[in-house]
Structure 1
Amino acid sequence: MSVREVSKFLSFVLRHAPEEIGIKLDHAGWVRIDDLLAKSKKAGKRFDRAMLDEVVATSDKKRFTISEDGRFVRAAQGHSIKVELGLVPKEPPQVLFHGTAAASLDSIFATGLEPRGRQQVHLSMDIPTALKVGGRHGRPVVLTVAASEMWAAGHQFWQADNGVWLTDRVDPAFLSFDQSYDHQAQESPGPKL
């Protein structure tokens, strides 16, 4: 398997469907690496510890975390299954960004940003990252989230191991759309992830 194939496979089993290969994640999303490798092999997905280490080290989004003792691995965020990452609430920067498809704007400004199939809403610290995320769903646009205002109003934020900011939802009152970001997307849509 290539690095990309292993990364996609790990995203699937560590975020959404561990039961597909017969592994069990603990309450914090960790699985023993030896168990993951053995069950992956049994499911026809052959890769070794060196490949796993390469995937973790080279992931542009730092999707995975290996435990300090080197025996466990988990997805840094993005779970659709219930896990408790053990993150401590943290004061966010003044603004954060959310990339989405232009076709979703009416719905978002009606109901806000909701986790949908994930546990929490994912927010980026910069516009280029948000544009890449939005590009996965159609013509990308970037929403600005008034994160410090949300924090002051009592909303909690967490920062995942890979730097992605998480919150439970974002009300429309804390969202704005700057068309200059839309213009940037049209000039340079970025790679599809």
Structure 2
Amino acid sequence: MINECEEHGYFRRDKCPVCGRNGKFVMSDFEVEKLGRMMAAILRHGKFSPEMNEQGFVNIQEIVSLIKEHNSRVKWLRPFHIDALALTDPKGRYQIRGNTVRATYGHTIKLNLELPTVNIPAYLYYPASEEEVDEILEEGLVPTDRTMVHLSATFEDALHAGEVRIDDPVILAVDSKKCAEAGYPIGKAAKTVYLCDMVPADCISVSEGDEESEE
């Protein structure tokens, strides 16, 4: 559920985490999930053919219009609902710029995201199945169902991400400096998600934990 505090803005708790006051109701959990799925379809995959710039930003009012046009059950939707969802997303899936918004990762359409490439952790992590490991160590990481390789900030983040599709994922470590020196800089997309066009094989090793960060 998303509420709004008059003083501190939107939040996803029963009470404002800053002042502890009850907020004004904005959206239920069901509405948040439903809107999030529709926004992902538009911003990550280009559903309904929105007018999107090369960095992936779409006018918020256009998103509202597209969703209401194609779904009669969300006549309640207003631009502030988009703001509320984007600003409170716990994973940082969205970025607002002025009156526009974009998805920060997960795209299946080619974009020029222009992500920041400074202060990238020395090692990032990728979950793979046992069947994939040898091929990745030999040939490197390339995008599959998305346009960029998605890496996680920590071993644990990669483990959680991998468990969505793999029973017992093997976590691979990526040397981010070596990857950048090879011509494939890594950009920070969200709180724990980093993106790269590809990762050469000699930048990848099998990880046993976060011990790489201690080197």
Q: Same fold (TM over 0.5)?
A: yes
2:81 maps to amino acid: M
Structure with greater proportional strand content:
2
Could you tell me which residue of structure 1 aligns to residue 55 of structure 2?
28
- Please tell me whether residue 107 in structure 1 is matched to residue 135 in structure 2: yes
Could you tell me which residue of structure 2 aligns to residue 57 of structure 1?
87
Could you tell me which residue of structure 2 aligns to residue 2 of structure 1?
31
- Please tell me whether residue 173 in structure 1 is matched to residue 202 in structure 2: yes
Instruction: Tell whether the 8 Å contact from 2:137 to 2:201 is kept in structure 1 after alignment.
Output: yes
2:70 maps to amino acid: A
Please identify, of 76-85 and 43-52, the stretch whose mean Cα deviation from structure 2 is larger: 43-52
- Please tell me whether residue 151 in structure 1 is matched to residue 180 in structure 2: yes
Instruction: Tell whether the 8 Å contact from 1:95 to 1:146 is kept in structure 2 after alignment.
Output: yes
Q: Which has the higher contact order (CA 8 A, sep 6+)?
A: 1
In structure 2, C-alpha distance between the alignment counterparts of 1:21 and 1:151, rounded to whole Å: 36
Could you tell me which residue of structure 1 aligns to residue 41 of structure 2?
12
1:93 to 111, 121, 131: 121
Instruction: Tell whether the 8 Å contact from 1:88 to 1:158 is kept in structure 2 after alignment.
Output: yes
* Aligned sequence identity (%): 28
TM-score by length of structure 2 reads: 0.72
Instruction: Tell whether the 8 Å contact from 1:92 to 1:151 is kept in structure 2 after alignment.
Output: no
- Please tell me whether residue 37 in structure 1 is matched to residue 64 in structure 2: yes
CA RMSD, aligned part only?
Answer: 2.3
Kindly state the Cα deviation for residue 180 of structure 1 after the two structures are TM-superposed.
Answer: 5.5
Q: Which runs of 5+ in 2 are unaligned?
A: 1-29, 211-215
Instruction: Tell whether the 8 Å contact from 1:91 to 1:157 is kept in structure 2 after alignment.
Output: no
Q: Which runs of 5+ in 1 are unaligned?
A: 182-193
Instruction: Tell whether the 8 Å contact from 2:157 to 2:192 is kept in structure 1 after alignment.
Output: no
Secondary structure of 1:52's partner?
helix
In structure 1, C-alpha distance between the alignment counterparts of 2:112 and 2:138, rounded to whole Å: 29
Kindly state the Cα deviation for residue 158 of structure 1 after the two structures are TM-superposed.
Answer: 1.6
Kindly state the Cα deviation for residue 42 of structure 1 after the two structures are TM-superposed.
Answer: 0.8
Query: For this pair of structures, how many residues does the alignment match?
Result: 177
Runs of 4+ in 1 over 4 A off after TM superposition: none
* Larger-Rg structure: 2
Kindly state the Cα deviation for residue 22 of structure 1 after the two structures are TM-superposed.
Answer: 4.0
Q: Deviations over 1:81-114 (max 9, x none)?
A: 1211223543632211112334422332232111
Kindly state the Cα deviation for residue 179 of structure 1 after the two structures are TM-superposed.
Answer: 4.4
In structure 2, C-alpha distance between the alignment counterparts of 1:94 and 1:128, rounded to whole Å: 16
